[in-house]
Structure formats: C-alpha cells, structure tokens
Structure 1
C-alpha cells in the first residue's frame, strides 16, 4: 500500500475514531495491534493499565497512545503502520462491533478507504512525475553526451580535413579525402557504405570503384570524390552518370576540389530526366565544417535545386 511516511493528521484521527468501534473490548483492541505486529514495548504499559484498572483508560485513549508511538517511531515502524492501516481498510466482518456501532464503523472504514485511495493516487502521481523528471534528466544527459561526442568527432574530422591541404602525394590525398568525407557522412547518419570496388565476373579485375554510398531521405546516392588540379569535365561526370544509370533508382553526388566545366554541368542538367546528379565543390564542405553547419541540410537544398530549378551545381 502506497501510504506516506507518517500518518497524516486526517488519517491518524480517522483511525483513532474507527478502531475502537471495530472491537467490543479493550483487550480486543490491544490484540488487534499485536496482530498487526506492533512491538510489545509500545503496548505493554497500556495493557498493564487495562489489567490493573480497566476504567482508567478508554478504547480511544489506547488507540491514540499506540498510534502516536508507532507514528513517531519513523522508519522503524513503517511496516507496522502500513499493516494497521491495511487491516482497517480491508475490514469486512463488523460482527465484532457493538450492534449500535456497526453503521458508524462501516461509514468510518469507507471514509478511510477514500482518503487512502486519494493519498495513494497522489503518491502514484508524484512517483510518476518524479519518474518522468528522472527520465527527462537521463534523456537530457544522454543528449548532452551525444552532442559532446558528436562535436568531438567533427572537430577531429575538421583537423583531418585541414591536414589534407598539406599532403603532397595526390594519390594519398585522394584516398585520405574519401576517408575523411565518409567519416563526415557517418557523423550525420547518412553513410551506408564506405569506398569499395567491384570485380568483373570473368577475371577482368576491378571494373568499378565507388568512393562511398550515402542515404538522404530514403534515397541512395553514389558518391564520387576528386581532388584534381584541373577542372572536372564531361568525361568524369559521364563516367559517374553511367554508374547511376546501371543501378536503376540510384542518384549521385560528385564532390570536387576543383571547379566543374560548363559542359560538365550541362551534361548533368540534360541527364536529370534519367538520373539525378548533384555537384558539390569541396569548399562548400569546408565552409560547413568551419561554421559547424548542417551537411545533410545543405545537400537537401542542393538536391531540391537540381530537381526543381535544373541546377546540378547550386550554391547559396
């Protein structure tokens, strides 16, 4: 039974009024408390007083004295307080009462049941509020930890990205770019697969290399990355378009450190009816990292511009 730590005044007074009516004799009242597990040290002197001079103490005084003692004992008698209350609330046979007290006793037991139910409801509601508050605190802490972890990851990605500009070997720099950008895609929850190669079925060796696969709004994008000194032309974007054409519903993203030629943009624009390719300058990703921006939202904007405005290379 969810009852508060001590009997509140309304419960205490109702018990004092009710328990004496439930039993005809003072000894039966004392026996009720013993049956509820109240320690003998709380009862013995009252019982002696009844035995020596029955008229020196009433049933109401007996109940008030014993209830006061177990109420003031705190945690030590929590079980006994609950057991006393439980026995009163569950009292059903009123034949132990004096006939004239039965109706009043039934009414008081009903009143106690109502009060206890209200108290229990408040206790449950408070517990629910406390549980909800605790859950919110945990969720908030987990969110903070997640944000801190994400920030640390992106700071590390930013350091790796900036380190690319000091690399002299073009091949190593290109592979490092794939690794860094795939880490960045992963930090935004977009990465489906890192760079991989496909071999031919008849011993042709590597016939295709994909720099990465990402997913944005349930749409799959094959990613191509280039760090060249010269602009990206028709041949490069066409090669990427062929990969997309061969995969049905796939789309493409082409990321380049150098600019895209006008013919390359035109090829991508003219292919929109067959396949979507979004062109991205590496400087745009650099800006996202420096400004702690939202890469996924930036790509969404570019995708919409490519579809709606027929601009595969859209810059804000």
Structure 2
C-alpha cells in the first residue's frame, strides 16, 4: 500500500541505530529483517559478510527509503517490530552484556519516540490489509456462488427437457434437495411414513417444514392438492409448516381458499423458482418474505414483484 506521508529523516536514523543495537551478530539481525519484510529479496542485495553491521543496515534502509513507493510498508513494519521489542535477554550471552542491553533499550525507546505518529499509520495499514483480504474472500465466495447457481439452473433446464414425466418428477425432487442444500436449509430427501408420501422436509429459521413438489406445467394445481398436503402437515407437531412448490400455476381456488387446513403452508411457483435461479433473490429470503406475508395477511400465496 502506498502512503502519501513519508517517513521522517529522524525516524529513519533512529531505526538504523535501533537495528544495529538489538542484535549483536549480523546473522541474527539479517534473519530478523528477512522475517519482518514482505519483500525480503532486497536484503540479499547487501554484502553482509564484508560490511560492518552499521554499513549493512545503512545501505539497506537507504535503498528502501529511495523507493518508498515499493518499500514504505516494509519500513513501517520494521519500525513497528523493532519498537515492540521488550526482551533483550538474547544479548546476555555476549561480553559487556549490560552495556549492550542498555544501548539497545535506549535506541528502541528513541525509535518509539521518533515514530509515534507512524503507529496509527501502521494500525491503518493492518486494517486496510484485513479489509482487502475480507473483500477477496467475499469475491471468491461470490464467484463460487454464481458458478454453483449457474450449474443448478443448467440442471433445471435439463430436467425440463426430459420427456419422461415420471423421471422428471424424481429428478425435480433431487434438484430441490440440492437447491436447499446450497442455501443451507438442512433438507431431507423424500421419505415415506405410514400411509403417505412426503416429498421432503427442511429446517429454516427455527421452524420445520414439510415439502410438496409437483412438476405440473400444463394443468393448474387445485385446492384438493392443498387439502391433501395440509392433512400431512396437521398430522405432525403443532408448529410444523409446509412449502408447496409447483412448476405450473395455482388455480384461483388455491390462492383464495379460506380453509384453515391450508393456513400452515405457503406456495411457490415456477416464476418464483426462476427468480432464485437467476440470482434475483436468495431462496431463504424468498421463503421468509412469503411466510411473513402469510402471517400478516392470511394469504398463503404471494407473488414476488
């Protein structure tokens, strides 16, 4: 990340002095710098064997300062990492360790004082990097989401082209199961209980739903179909709800029925399903809107705009 605010000369001098003081061996200092930098290749451009420690540090920092468009973030990271050092016990192994530790502490304190204004910048850099990583993850998720949705839509079209009505019905049930899995609705595949066939079930927003699905394009769903489904729902726990999905339209007696047996279900047709597959609304959001409308108005069918 490029910043407009250049690091001051006094802060650069303090950084050089602190780097020289915090490690006694050039090998340890070089390793510390390489581990700190995002772009450590510049470290290898310095002759660490022939140069004195100060010469190596001075050459390295000067080269980074000249190219702050490339190395400003790394310079700030060095300032941060050196300024955070509080343990100097690694200097105790060398002769005159007390003097070395005292000098290291003083140089680090001086760097902290010179670089106070840059620590906010460092925090901002960290937050910006976190935001960038979060945005990248969101982008990856978004791309993956759209790819999977496109696969589901293609699968739907393949089912539609199948001339075998019975196979089409089974394929539709499987397709719906995959769709519900994709939207984290915890679906269960079709199952049988005594005397009845259930096309599936799922859990959403702390409520359990039974699912009835019909690939019925040419003829309308009539109220008798809803009453049959309502009977299945009423035989379960009190708060169980139902979702009836039909590729074709619902008849007028379905959408306007006042029968209490239908008051525990909501209806979804092919146009609703296409809105989901085309990415205009998520399935869970669609169910929530339909359920809320039914709760507020008593109407079990709500056409999305």
Find out whether 1:161 has 2:150 as its counterpart: no
8 Å CA contact 1:244, 1:275 repeated in 2: no
Alignment of 1:94-113 (within 5 A): none
Alignment of 1:264-275 (within 5 A): 264-267=254-257, 269-271=258-260, 275=263
The residue that corresponds to 1:105 in the other structure is none
Matches of 1:85 and 1:132 in 2, distance apart?
Answer: 35
The residue that corresponds to 1:301 in the other structure is 289
Name which of 14, 23, 33 aligns with 1:11. Answer: 14
Alignment of 1:46-65 (within 5 A): none
The Cα of 1:238 is off from its aligned counterpart by 1.7
8 Å CA contact 1:214, 1:221 repeated in 2: yes
Find out whether 1:249 has 2:232 as its counterpart: no
CA RMSD of aligned residues (A): 3.9
Matches of 1:141 and 1:13 in 2, distance apart?
Answer: 36
The count of residues paired between Structure 1 and Structure 2 equals 235
The residue that corresponds to 2:112 in the other structure is 117
Name which of 220, 223, 229 aligns with 1:231. Answer: 220
Find out whether 1:173 has 2:168 as its counterpart: yes
Q: What's the TM-score, normalizing by structure 2?
A: 0.62
Runs of at least 5 residues in structure 2 that lack an aligned partner in the other structure: 1-6, 28-51, 62-77, 83-87, 92-98
The Cα of 1:226 is off from its aligned counterpart by 0.6
The Cα of 1:164 is off from its aligned counterpart by 2.3
Q: Relative to 1, partners in 2 of residues 1:283 and 1:71: Cα closer, same or farther, differing over 3 Å?
A: closer
8 Å CA contact 1:197, 1:208 repeated in 2: no
Matches of 1:172 and 1:254 in 2, distance apart?
Answer: 20
Matches of 1:36 and 1:313 in 2, distance apart?
Answer: 78
8 Å CA contact 2:11, 2:114 repeated in 1: no
**2:186 counterpart SS class:** strand
The Cα of 1:37 is off from its aligned counterpart by 5.5
The residue that corresponds to 2:58 in the other structure is 72
8 Å CA contact 2:210, 2:241 repeated in 1: yes
8 Å CA contact 1:253, 1:279 repeated in 2: yes
- Show CA shifts across 1:231-268 (max 9, x none): 2223321222122222221111101123323333355x
Matches of 2:108 and 2:183 in 1, distance apart?
Answer: 56
8 Å CA contact 1:11, 1:115 repeated in 2: yes
8 Å CA contact 2:187, 2:203 repeated in 1: no
Q: What's the TM-score, normalizing by structure 1?
A: 0.60
